[in-house]
Amino acid sequence: MTLYEFIKRYERGDYAELLNKFKFKFPSMFELTREIEVIPWQPDFAIADKNPEVINQLEFYEFLLKNNIITEEDYKKQTEKLGRQYSSRTEAVSFIQTKQVSFR
């Protein structure tokens, strides 16, 4: 799949307005997406990950809260248990020479 095909899936969704702005402001860049291949995510691409499990846990608790499975009080308790530590998670990588991208 090309990046162009990937982006076009969002043409009529929540990101339609943002996509139209992108096309208008960066027409050459948008055309370049036709040449870029989207490849499957591989664990080796997670080069900048630092404590990614913390981010995963936060997202999990946000999901539970959003779906009314836990209360806001429980959410605060659980997230406070995680403590304050530096965390990062690589969400995407690009390979310029081969014209490829991958998203987690």
Residue 22 sits at φ, ψ, to 5 deg, of -60, -45
pLDDT in tens, 42-72: 988 887 767 778 878 888 999 999 999 999 9
More confident residue, 98 or 89: 98
d(CA 84, CA 40): 32
Position 11 confidence tier, pLDDT thresholds 50, 70, 90: confident
pLDDT at 49: 67
Burial class (CB in 10 A: 0-12, 13-18, 19+), 51: middle
d(CA 12, CA 59): 26
Position 23 confidence tier, pLDDT thresholds 50, 70, 90: very high
* Cα Rg, the chain, nearest whole Å: 18
Rounded to two decimals, the pTM is 0.64
Contact 104, 47 (CB under 8 A): no
With a pLDDT cut of 70, the percent of the chain lying above it is 98
